Chains A and B, each alone.
Chain A
Amino acid sequence: MNGPHGVRPRRHLPTVLLVVGATGLAVVLMQGWIPSKETAPQTPSPAGPQTQPTRIVSFVPAVTEMLFAMGAGDRVVGVSSYDRFPEAVRRLPAVGGLIDPNVERVLSLRPDLVIVYGTQRELRGQLDRAGINQFQYVHRDLADVTHTIRAVGALLQWHTAADRLASDIEHQLELVRQRVAGRRRPRTLVVFGRETGSLRRIHASGGYGFLHDLIQLAGGEDVLGDVRRESVELSAESVLSRGPEVIVELRYGQPLSFDAIEELRREWSALPGVPAVRNGRVNVMVGDEFVVPGPRVVLAAERLWTRLHR
């Protein structure tokens, strides 16, 4: 074990271990810190469809909503198990979700276009081998909503309707933006998850992505705007030190009773010094439009605006 000059290798062991430890920590830090910069979003497969797709399976609820909103809902033959809107999707076969796609069921529906998430690499490979066209959806910021609508419209050769929908959404959002122009922007915290019954493991929108853009658009200043992440876990200390003037807690999935909403609001009184708590500006908003970046972003923006400026 001794080196040629009698250097005992184990003397270096502490150094080696420290370097290994530090590297490990650095890797962990970087992975969480840097938002993924995945490019090449929303490109159809290179093969490109020659004809109009008429049998579409969508794994992405946001895109499902877009298809229905642009009037192409009758072409959708299968949706993800998380699709709830519009009402018509409830009658369509469910093909699984982001992490558990059911390829067999997809194939049995004989689709000519499948809307997939960019991260569903395995599914994409399987669809490639089956020769089925795909649309890769990448979820990023608010502007991507209308980009996606236009890209999907182009793919379906359904330009006019898609463009009308996208322009309409852009126009409505612009109206909200104009309404808040020049007004004081309250410091806003948007929370989309926490442990039931306590202020622990608070997950909030960070300074990047669709929810962040919505806060800014609806006339708030995102208290986490400097944190370039889509989602941030907040400690009690961070809530206190950042002192939001408005807290919006989002709930989705099931509807909530009035009492349940009051209870959720009351739980924030554990941090009485936060301006939003002191001034009674803790809001609980229930609705899927806050988590599905589809055509209903207009609704989401308007609802948010009511809590920030009315």
Chain B
Amino acid sequence: MLTLAGFGGLALVACAVAPLVGSTPIDVRRVFDRSVPFADNVHAQIFFLARLPRVLAAALVGCALALSGVVFQALLRNPLASPDTLGVSAGASLGAMLAIALNADVRLAGVPAVPLASFAGSLGALAIVYALASARRRGSSTTVLLLAGVAITALLSAVVRFVQFVADSNQTLQSTRWLMGSLDVGSYPPLVAALVPTAAAAAAMATLPRMLDLVSVGTESAAARGVNVERAERVALISASLATGAAVSLAGPVAFVGIVVPHLVRLIVGAHHRLVLPAAGLFGAAFLVLCDLLARTLMAPVEFPVGVVTAVIGGPFFLWLLFRRR
């Protein structure tokens, strides 16, 4: 419980500090100075229009990816599983590529075409995976599902490259950049739009921890202990895919958070999912907020993709933790 509070504190501090730091120095007093009209207050505008949505997006995406990483690893009983494993990210990428290449210009409740198409793409991939998972009868190994995920990812990625190839050069630039991930969301509506499915997924996941413990040890013994394995697997698959789809459609693919944060957290809190799940959500949020802070300040005014930071910082840190224990 104390550890969880620690992770919660870390996430809160990260979210509170990150908007105050950036490539431009801003003065906190002037941010909240009501005497200057908002339209003239550059400090307030930078804080509320640029940094706050960005930090919140980082927290949301980090949390969603870490949560779905935990759930996928337990569901597939595979420590190498990640939010990308079952092809949901690839589906989201394909959706985004198509929106960019077709120059789609629709809008729904203030959310522009690319994130919309991306989320639709993730739902499409989820539908395929779900159909495969349902076709798979009880008793068959999750290896089949994993391999299906690999095949779906390869297929969708090939289509992504094809779409990129036929697009014109500006679209190719945009789509390549999309595939590197970015948290600069620019406005609040996409953030709210991603929050809805993520919150729903998190609520569904809250019912899962103990089942995930049991399922990760084996479906047959889980069933013999009273778990409705099929229902648990369905809830896990759908909630983790929804969270992934929301995260990827908001920020593009951000490597590494979904696979490494769950393991990092397990090294600290142990294997119990009722600790791992909330701790991973909180730590994932804090981790991505801090990585994005580095991405936007290290080389200011030039920013580089946050996925580079997550991998370069997270990789060695994770290896260190891993080998220190063994």
Contacts and interface: CB of A to CB of B under 8 A. Distances in A.
The reply to whether chain A is a binding partner of chain B is: yes
Interface of A: 10, 13-14, 17-18, 20-21, 24-25, 28-29, 32-33, 82, 100, 192-201, 203, 224, 227, 229, 232-238, 240-243, 252-253, 260, 263, 270-273, 278
Contacts of B42: 240-241, 243, 273
B315 interface: yes
Given A200-B182, A241-B46, A195 B170 contact: no
Contacts of B301: 224, 227, 232, 234, 238, 242
A233 B177 contact: yes
A202 to B, nearest CB: 9
A146 to B, nearest CB: 24
B105 A273 contact: no
B23 A237 contact: yes
Interface string B306-323: 001000110111011001
A33 B46 CA distance: 25
A229 B105 contact: no
A5 B177 CA distance: 51
A24 B312 contact: yes
A198 B315 contact: no
A17 B319 contact: yes
Nearest to B112: A197
Interface in B97-135: 99-100, 103-105, 107, 112-114
Contacts of A13: 319-320, 323-324
Q: Top 3 closest A-B pairs, CB basis?
A: A197-B112, A237-B50, A241-B24
B104 to A, nearest CB: 7
B157 interface: no
Contact of A252 (B170, B177, B319): B170
Contact of A21 (B104, B114, B315): B315
Contacts of A25: 308, 312
Contact of A20 (B51, B107, B316): B316
- The interface centre, meaning the residue of A194, A197, A271 with most chain B CB atoms within 10 A of its CB, is A197
Nearest to A197: B112
Contacts of A260: 105
B45 to A, nearest CB: 4
Interface residues of B, number: 54
B170 A253 contact: yes
A183 to B, nearest CB: 26
A13 B316 CA distance: 10
A81 to B, nearest CB: 10
A196 B22 contact: no
B216 interface: no
A28 B312 contact: yes
- The interface centre, meaning the residue of B45, B178, B301 with most chain A CB atoms within 10 A of its CB, is B301
B186 A199 contact: yes
B267 interface: no
Nearest to B40: A273
Given A235-B54, A241-B42, A10 B323 contact: yes
Given A237-B24, A241-B24, A273-B39, A196 B103 contact: yes
13 contacts: A17-B317, A25-B312, A193-B170, A195-B112, A197-B107, A198-B186, A199-B186, A201-B182, A227-B302, A233-B177, A240-B24, A241-B46, A253-B168
A301 to B, nearest CB: 21
B320 A17 contact: yes
Interface in B152-194: 165, 168-170, 173-174, 177-178, 182, 184-187, 190
B49 interface: yes
B120 to A, nearest CB: 15
Nearest to A13: B323
B109 to A, nearest CB: 13
A196 B170 contact: no
Contacts of B39: 272-273, 278
B45 A195 contact: no
A14 B323 CA distance: 9
A232 B302 contact: yes
Contacts of B274: none
A125 B104 CA distance: 40
Nearest to A240: B46
